[in-house]
Every structure is written in C-alpha cells, then in structure tokens.
C-alpha cells in the first residue's frame, strides 16, 4: 500500500483530497497547522484510523517539517507521494501589508513546499515517488491586493520545474493551478459557511460552473498514478477555462 503526505489537509481542497486518497487505497499522513481543523478531521475520519496519521505541523518551520517527516516514516515506514497543498492568503493594500505578513504567506506557501520536498526527497526517491505542488491561477492573473499570495504561487511554478529537473528520474514533480474552487462548506466549523454561489458565478466560466475541490483531487490522482510516469515538470490549470477567456468591459 502506498503512502501519501498532504499538507494543509484539514480543510478545503486538502480535506477532499485526503478522502480521495483513502478511498483509492492510499495511507495518508495529514500535516496540518490548524489544531481545530485537525481535531475535526480526526473525528470525521475515525473509521479510517488505521490508514491515516494526523500530524500537527507548521510547514514554514524546518524543525516542524523535520519532525513531521520522522513521525510519518516511523508510523508508515515509507513515503510515495508528497502533496504540497498548505497555503494562506492575506489581502491588503501594498502600503498596509507588513513585512511580517508578507513573510508569513511566502513562508507557508513557497518555503513550506521547499522544506517538505527537502525532508522527504530521500524517501520519495527510494520509492520512485512523486511530488504535487498546488499552485493557483493567481500566478498568471490577479485581483487587487494579493501580492504575497500571487508571488508565492508564481514561485511554486518555478520551484516545480526546478525540482523536476533536479530530482528526476527518481522523483516526478508536477503542479496543479486551480482557479475558482468553491470550498465554502469545507472549512472547520468555526468558519461557518461562505456566501451562496450565484448563477452569474457559474455562467462566467466557459465550463458552465464554478469548480469543486473534487476537480482538483481527481487531477492529483491522475498525476500520481504510476501509468502517468512520463509526465513531469508540468503545470496543469484546473479553472473551467477562465484563464483563456478574453473579457472586455
């Protein structure tokens, strides 16, 4: 049985991907910094307790990542897949965004992916494994005041091809860049539910709908499948066609 690590697996895309991995025969180590989200995930997945490991980990901390890797190996004995999904966003005007806030976002979204790769690469190489970095279409286009998030996701794409060239052929590395993915009902209870989607939210997408976390999880399963071993160093946009749409006001 293969083992996958997913960072930020307690909520949103990460939570759904965790479910997909479990139902497709993977053992999963969820690395999550949000204690409440981790507790809720443990309760939700208690029926699969033998296949899942819950690890409290801030991926921006090398000490945390090293300990999480050791804990995962001690528990499962191997790592076949690393999914760098943990991310945060701070939306502020440029003159209001502090350096600490900038560093916090870059630390989680970009440095975290580097650290997780660094401390699992030996295990991944031993298993001819793979890494999936979750990026964003914000690497190509922006809404106002998302400086650190957009920069971090641009960095993820460059990190992806750098890792692919450096680690191949023993480790494959690809990225997925989601667009608008509705995760309004996939957060911890304290967050509550987000706004209801409107018909115009769906209609503006060439695919006819806003994305779901399942759309990203299915792409992850496709890319980590052994039969797709010829794919590496690539970025796959999952956005319902929005980055191909010319909009004139």
Catalytic positions, written as ranges? 149
| Neighbouring residues of 227: CB distance < 8 A, sequence distance ≥ 6 | none
Q: Can you read off the two tokens belonging to residue 61?
A: 């901390």
Residue 100 burial (CB count, 10 A):
8
Rounded to whole angstroms, the Cα distance separating 203 from 123 reads 45
Residue 144 burial (CB count, 10 A):
8
Strand partners, 40: none
Residue 177 burial (CB count, 10 A):
22
SS (H, E, C) 127-188: CCCEEEEECCHHHCCCCCCCHHHHHHHHHHHHHHHHHHHHHCCCCEEEEEEECCEECCCCCC
Residue 230 burial (CB count, 10 A):
6
Q: What angle do CA 66, 113, 71 make, to 5 degrees?
A: 25
């Amino acid at each position: 049985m293969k083992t996958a690590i997913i960072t930020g697996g307690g909520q949103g895309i990460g939570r759904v991907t965790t479910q997909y991995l479990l139902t497709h025969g993977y053992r999963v180590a969820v690395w999550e910094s949000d204690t409440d989200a981790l507790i809720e995930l443990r309760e939700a997945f208690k029926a699969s307790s033998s296949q899942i490991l819950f690890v409290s980990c801030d991926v921006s901390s090398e000490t945390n990542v090293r300990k999480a890797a050791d804990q995962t190996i001690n528990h499962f004995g191997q790592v076949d897949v690393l999914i760098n999904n943990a991310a945060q966003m701070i939306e502020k005007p440029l003159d209001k965004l502090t350096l600490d806030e900038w560093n916090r976002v870059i630390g989680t979204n970009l440095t975290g992916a580097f650290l997780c790769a660094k401390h699992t690469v030996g295990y991944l190489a031993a298993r001819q494994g793979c890494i999936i970095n979750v990026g964003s279409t914000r690497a190509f286009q922006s809404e106002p005041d998302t400086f650190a998030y957009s920069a971090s996701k641009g960095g993820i794409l460059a990190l992806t091809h750098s890792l692919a060239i450096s680690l191949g052929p023993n480790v494959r590395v690809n990225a997925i860049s989601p667009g608008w993915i509705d995760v309004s009902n996939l957060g911890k209870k304290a967050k509550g539910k987000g706004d209801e989607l409107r018909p115009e939210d769906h209609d503006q997408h060439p695919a006819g709908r806003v994305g779901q976390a399942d759309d990203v999880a299915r792409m992850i399963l496709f890319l980590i499948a052994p039969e797709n071993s010829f794919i590496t160093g690539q970025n796959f946009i999952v956005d319902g066609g929005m980055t191909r749409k010319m909009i004139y006001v």
